[in-house]
């Protein structure tokens, strides 16, 4: 059986960045999985499980560097296996644990925003990169609290997610300046940026953060100028495979995003993300508090035991 058009459209929207940012991707992906489960016309539980496995695969591979979505699917399937005696029961389990996971994402986002806003002082000049709903949420919250802030944000070539960020800030009435990506160091130096905050797609067992390409450059520039660099992240983005020695995959995207009609024979590289090692990060702002990324494994193990995998 082919997965239906409504579900396939969500997978396409994730792949083509019409749904972007790790938290939005996880929320929309989990909702699509749950709604598909309601619609599937199957006659046995085995059929249902095999359709759900196809759906899980399609979502899990839509973007390579999105553990928050994969962890959510694992959470639902872990609670489903061996626990459903009928199709109806299976549907209810998927619905319950999908809602539960989406709720975890939303509640953790609220905490990240609230803790992050405490870190922003009145009068701050803030710099960010790409579009992260967690880091923009922090800046918007600081503004709503009446803090007088200014923001610099990058364009984020080649897909210009920085424009989404810039628009959100301008619409909220925040003084905002957009710069080309290659001006990121120049801005920090020239405009006395006080704090850099970005989002993250993933965090590994060693506390390495993965975020939009350019994030490590920004962290290096911040370090050069002694400007604190923070990552706003919920811990549902932990990549559990890294704790058993595997490496997080970095998504490579199509060359056509860079140049639609390039000269023949030209090679391209279009990595979507890059790693920032924990020594360049002053703190992660998470739902469990603000702390060094180096201790993330211990905190995730305690807070989200369902994420731990144990392969022999």
Task: Pick from 7, 10, 20, 108 the residue near ligand RUB by CB under 6 A.
Answer: 20
157 — phi, psi (to 5°)?
-65, 150
| DSSP secondary structure, 165-213, as one string | HHHHHHHHT-EEEEE-GGGHHHHHHHTT--EEEE--SEE-TT--EEEET
Q: Does 52 bind ligand RUB (CB under 6 A)?
A: no
- Cβ atoms of residues 134 and 128 within 8 Å: no
Sign of the C-alpha dihedral computed for residues 56, 59, 65 and 69 taken in this order: negative
Q: Which candidate in 130, 181, 239, 282 is catalytic?
A: 130
The answer for residues whose C-beta is within 8 angstroms of residue 142's C-beta and 6 or more apart is 117, 120, 124, 149
| DSSP secondary structure, 116-129, as one string | HHHHPPTT-EEEE-
Q: Which candidate in 181, 201, 239, 282 is catalytic?
A: 201
Site residues for ligand RUB, 137-166, by CB under 6 A, read 161
Name the minimum Å distance from CB 42 to ligand RUB: 32
Is 201 among the catalytic positions? yes
- Cβ atoms of residues 196 and 230 within 8 Å: yes
- Which residue in the shown chain puts its C-beta closest to ligand RUB? 199
Task: Pick from 23, 176, 208, 248 the residue near ligand RUB by CB under 6 A.
Answer: 23
Nearest CB to ligand RUB, comparing residues 56 and 131: 131
Q: Does 258 bind ligand RUB (CB under 6 A)?
A: no
Q: Does 231 bind ligand RUB (CB under 6 A)?
A: no
Q: Does 178 bind ligand RUB (CB under 6 A)?
A: no
Binding mask 198-217 for ligand RUB (x = CB under 6 A): xxxx---------xx-----
Six-digit token string for 82: 């061996």
Query: Catalytic residue positions?
Result: 130, 201
Q: Which residues bind ligand RUB (CB under 6 A)?
A: 17, 20-24, 130-134, 161, 198-201, 211-212, 272
């Amino acid at each position: 059986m082919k997965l239906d058009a409504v579900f396939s459209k969500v997978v396409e929207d994730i792949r083509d960045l019409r749904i972007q940012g790790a938290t939005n991707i996880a929320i929309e992906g989990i909702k699509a999985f749950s709604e598909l489960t309601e619609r599937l016309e199957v006659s046995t539980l085995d059929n249902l499980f095999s359709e759900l496995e196809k759906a899980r695969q399609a979502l899990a591979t839509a973007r390579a560097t999105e553990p928050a979505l994969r962890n959510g699917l694992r959470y639902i399937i872990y609670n489903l296996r061996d626990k459903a005696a009928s199709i109806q029961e299976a549907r209810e389990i998927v619905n319950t644990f999908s809602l539960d996971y989406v709720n975890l994402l939303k509640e953790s986002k609220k905490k990240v925003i609230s803790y992050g806003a405490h870190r922003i002082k009145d009068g701050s000049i803030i710099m960010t990169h790409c579009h992260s709903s967690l880091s923009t949420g922090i800046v918007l919250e600081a503004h709503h609290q009446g803090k007088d802030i200014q923001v610099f944000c990058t364009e984020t070539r080649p897909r210009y997610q920085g424009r989404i960020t810039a628009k959100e800030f301008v619409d909220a009435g925040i003084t905002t300046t957009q710069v080309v990506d290659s001006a990121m160091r120049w801005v920090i130096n020239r405009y006395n940026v006080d704090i850099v905050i970005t989002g993250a797609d993933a965090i590994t067992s060693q506390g390495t953060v993965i975020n939009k390409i350019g994030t490590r450059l920004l962290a290096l520039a911040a370090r050069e100028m002694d400007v604190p660099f923070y990552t706003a992240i919920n811990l549902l983005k932990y990549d559990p495979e890294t704790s058993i020695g595997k490496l997080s995959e970095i998504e490579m995207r199509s060359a056509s995003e860079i140049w639609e009609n390039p000269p023949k024979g030209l090679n391209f590289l279009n990595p979507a993300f890059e790693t920032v090692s924990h020594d360049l990060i002053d703190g992660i702002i998470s739902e469990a508090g603000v702390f060094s990324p180096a201790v993330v494994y211990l905190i995730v193990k305690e807070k989200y035991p369902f994420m731990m995998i144990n392969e022999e």
